[in-house]
Structure 1
Amino acid sequence: MSTFYSLKVSAVSALTPSSVAITLDIPNDLKKDFTFDAGQHLTLKQTINGQEIRRAYSISSAPSDAKMTVGIKKVEGGAFSVWANEAIKAGDSIEVMPPKGHFVFRPTTTPQQIVAFAAGSGITPIMSIAGSVLESHPENTFVLVYGNQSPEETMYHREILDLSNKYTDRFFVQFMYSRAREEDALFGRIDGATVNLILKNKFKDRSFDHFYLCGPEDMINTVKETLQKNDIAKDKVHFELFTTSQEEEVSQAEGQTTMEVTLDDEVFTFVMDKKKLVLDAVLNENIDAPYSCQGGVCSTCIARVKEGKAEMVKNQILTDGEIEEGFILTCQAHPLTPTLKIDYDDV
């Protein structure tokens, strides 16, 4: 079930001329529900101009922080992001779903060397991950490569500099700007040459344990391909898209599928057209399934296939191992078989 809780906004602060940080108070009786791993996201729900809108935003605060913060960049024509930047204020309340997401860092008892490549608002989960990495072990190190148009448009710029000053021997940042030339910053966008600069030059003597990538699809694909050429194992590379291509693919499957959906220990059965997306059909039956972006970006709508087969028209989130285990993004999946049984609880 899409369980939302009303949380009070304790602060709204400007990060750049086009982005804000929204801090939420978590009541004591909800602390357990809102416990999270660094890198996870929240789904926020708001009625704007009479329409319910849900959006997923990554948590930028570390799990150890007393309050929970998300960073929201204004998107031209974006109903929710514009409202969040222009209308919301401290003291308001907003409906929030507990944290979800697989793009996470989990501390270990042994030291870890982490590197992250982020662009634009892709920095938000990376801030949480960086904080967790640096706090969780005194020998952990974190390298951040962060691309933006200019320093003025760099979300969490001051906070990143604070980390650099606090962890002088363990936190290293390389800023990149595509529209400004600044001392100690690279000019341009994150590309294969940038990745090689980090791996083969600046940190050539370091063996990184994990790579975290977050931002636009083109940037992520470029970094992934370069890491692969440098013989970095796939299981060391974690990524989350903040924007993706909008091309829609239509299923070629014909006919009807009998759906069986398990959600909150209840079982629902209905018939759907194979050309429809599973999530759309589920919501049309007034089943309160979890979802947010509906674009295959956030993973909120993940479910496990228990019987039958489904095909995703787009997948940039689930790993090969997760797909083998039967997981699907229901917002991207079409049924292929006469019967399809999915379970939202078994994830």
Structure 2
Amino acid sequence: MSVFYNLSVKEVKKETKNAVSVVFEIPEKMQSEFNFIPGQYITIQKEFEGKPYRRAYSICSSPNVKELRVAIKEVKKGIFSVYANNKLQVGDTLEVAAPEGKFVLNTVASNSKNYLSFVAGSGITPVLSMIKSVLENEKNSKFILVYGSKSSDETIFKKEIDNLVSKYKNQFEVHYVFSQKISDKAYFGRINLKVINDILKHKYNKITFDDYFLCGPEEMIDLVKETLLKKGVKKEMIHLELFSSTSVKKEVNSDLSGNATITIVLDEEETTIDMRRDEIILNVALAHDLDAPY
């Protein structure tokens, strides 16, 4: 089971019209518990109307600055994300579990590597932590970022990323892809095969990349991964984190009366539970003391 610590909110910063970043105050005695590797996430727990809700958010700060910052994008009807974007204030207390996750980039000062990352939307959060860490710790490495968003105004951390490009001109380059606004400083559309091939075949055809980091919607990740594999990139060089799944419409039985038996698999352990058909599976799992992170 995850252990939750009561942490005070140190800062709430509006990053875009529908996203905030939140910094937590870490007491000295808890510093070691909240050490993290770039790419990891924390799980936040809060009760609403007597029911506990857990949500996982990736850390976007660098381990070097001893700051625990996450980005929270408001999701329509998302109980916690709506609260965080509209009501969360400095001084509020939230229950937070220690960092975890395997989508990570361990930096080594002596490295001389080339990294390429494709991200979309809030998928930037874990990768931003990786970027900062590489730029600060691996002076001979280079990081290329391809970042898809709706527009410049809705690009989370755009100002911070642009400042990093200016500061680390020889190490860091970014290519924006805007789906709803035309800009002479960005691709127009989504991260599609045309954009991927332009990056790989033209802009960086003379560079051999050591690792690829993909984070965002399932459709984008699948396309980039498939393209890389077809080009001969080894599977172990491709690291990915799924931030949203493709929605597939299927005909379902809308009758929620009666009970159902479900089997939940967590950490390779199965738990079978009888529940009402109108209940939410996540809430049932938490009520049975299962360590469900989302």
> What TM-score do the two structures reach when normalised by structure 1?
0.74
Secondary structure in 1 matching 2:9: strand
2:126 maps to a residue whose letter is P
1:271: Cα distance to partner? 7.8
Q: Any gaps of 5 or more consecutive residues in structure 2? A: 251-260, 275-280
Please tell me whether the aligned partners of residues 44 and 54 of structure 1 are also in contact (alpha carbons under 8 angstroms). yes
Please tell me whether the aligned partners of residues 195 and 227 of structure 1 are also in contact (alpha carbons under 8 angstroms). no
1:27: Cα distance to partner? 1.1
Match of 1:78 in 2: 78
Q: 1:271 to 1:224 in 2, by over 3 A?
A: closer
1:58 maps to a residue whose letter is S
1:147-183 Cα deviation digits (max 9, x unpaired): 1110010000111011101101110000110111112
CA distance, structure 1, for counterparts of residue 185 and residue 271 of structure 2: 60
1:288-335 Cα deviation digits (max 9, x unpaired): 442222xxxxxxxxxxxxxxxxxxxxxxxxxxxxxxxxxxxxxxxxxx
CA distance, structure 1, for counterparts of residue 115 and residue 60 of structure 2: 17
1:170-202 Cα deviation digits (max 9, x unpaired): 100001101111122110100122111111111
Match of 1:25 in 2: 25
CA distance, structure 1, for counterparts of residue 40 and residue 10 of structure 2: 20
CA distance, structure 2, for counterparts of residue 199 and residue 231 of structure 1: 12
Match of 2:15 in 1: 15
1:248-280 Cα deviation digits (max 9, x unpaired): 9xxxxxxx9xx9x99xxxxx9x98479xxxx97
2:118 maps to a residue whose letter is F
Secondary structure in 1 matching 2:65: coil
Q: 1:10 to 1:124 in 2, by over 3 A?
A: same
Provide the identity percentage.
38
Number of residues of Structure 1 aligned to a counterpart in Structure 2: 276
Match of 1:121 in 2: 122
**Pairing of 1:30-109 with structure 2 (within 5 A):** 30-108=30-108, 109=110
Q: Any gaps of 5 or more consecutive residues in structure 1? A: 249-255, 263-267, 294-347
CA distance, structure 2, for counterparts of residue 67 and residue 73 of structure 1: 19
Q: Which has the higher relative contact order, 1 or 2, with Cα contacts under 8 A spaced 6 or more apart?
A: 2
Q: 1:271 to 1:149 in 2, by over 3 A?
A: closer
CA distance, structure 2, for counterparts of residue 78 and residue 283 of structure 1: 19
What's the RMSD between the two structures over aligned residues?
A: 2.8
Secondary structure in 2 matching 1:175: strand
Please tell me whether the aligned partners of residues 2 and 289 of structure 1 are also in contact (alpha carbons under 8 angstroms). no
2:73 maps to a residue whose letter is K
Match of 2:212 in 1: 211
1:135: Cα distance to partner? 1.2
Please tell me whether the aligned partners of residues 286 and 292 of structure 2 are also in contact (alpha carbons under 8 angstroms). no
CA distance, structure 2, for counterparts of residue 244 and residue 234 of structure 1: 21
1:116 maps to a residue whose letter is S
1:67: Cα distance to partner? 1.4
Match of 2:191 in 1: 190
Matched, 1:137 2:128: no
> What TM-score do the two structures reach when normalised by structure 2?
0.87
Q: 1:177 to 1:91 in 2, by over 3 A?
A: same
